[in-house]
Structure 1
């Protein structure tokens, strides 16, 4: 693992911070606090003895109670590094737990999922829908549900596990996916399409053909660029795992999804590098299911906030 990948892995950084602050918190509770208490008791005993000797000689010490309390408080006060560690530990631990097992926030970096998701969308990803996984290792320990066709899923990019990608599940294990002339067929059943008004992409100020696609029980929008081919043949990689399960031509492709893998495509069909280019997504790469858009600071619209279709 390179330094760059470590610095880019926020979960790993969070885990290290949690461990370090947790160790300091436990050491303070079990060792350092007792040492400070013992030192304070010794100092107070010496303080009381000194005042007793002064009183026996008839010397009166003013503000004895306040001085004694201040002495005790000064000795018992936590060093700054321990105080901050103890304050941060429960917060870091809570954030780590939420991100690892419940929900994790992501920001959409590209236009591959337009019109469903826009660049800059802040989304939430459900981390337990597809099973509970060990943080950092991403090893599944509890099986719950399997990804379904039509789900919008976040996963580790097979070519670089330090990168998170988001696409739509088109094919599940065993499916035969055929994409010809920009129309999908799944296991011999043609996917339904309904034409909509053209979509204006704000970034390029160009219009694209827009359709609703009925993928199983999920109806969602897609974009097609009439001038682009169904597959950029020259960009298709030749050596990804299970490459032999796919055949390509200039009208499209046909793939049989291997066991333990998923076929992913972006909703912006002609502006998405996906399984057509770099291959299948193994189950071990799954991060979670995207389910909610909660903000877009650059393109705020109340109507877009809510569940992801």
Structure 2
């Protein structure tokens, strides 16, 4: 059971919004909501758990109860880690709205076979949809391309390119720089790109619980390298707010990005904030 620190104001704000183009809300961690001008609503990697203290300790509020979500056309997962595929966070959204879960094979295995969302949360079997690199799916007013991701800690990560008449949004999950990104930067005109950012810290090992030097996300140089190769107009850093010991200061990225052609702009947002993609 998820307990929201903020009541239902955030899902209500999403439901009530009438964006001119695409509105994007940051849910903290690596979670986002995209809503188009015609009302299509997509969730990407929403995570409302508190981690596994004392190994992973959530540092930000739980922004909503998933049962308060009344409008969703799809939930996209980038890879199989708990803070990207999480039954208590995502299955109630599917059950309440009838949305489809789009995810790579190992992520669907977690949801369907390991956590059995269809038995525990009344998710229907046809709500699981496996995708892989090179696939394209149409969800309402969005065309979604499944692309490569470079996350050595995951077994099958992917990234997503969300195309809309108003502009294009890239969500890389927990990817680090990839040799494939320069080609993607030439293929897509990305208005807003989302990449995970954090420090290197000492996190208790999963087995021994002894503190271990840990790098899960891009550092300052890696995130700008990836954003530059992908030719982002705007870079929105995510995940920097989430785990105790791995939090970071995204405003430092202004200095790292200054001498590069891309990203052209840095969008620093906090949990609950909204940004817009309008094609201007």
For the criterion TM > 0.5, the same-fold answer is no
TM-score (normalised: structure 2): 0.20
TM-score (norm 1): 0.19
Bigger helix share: 1
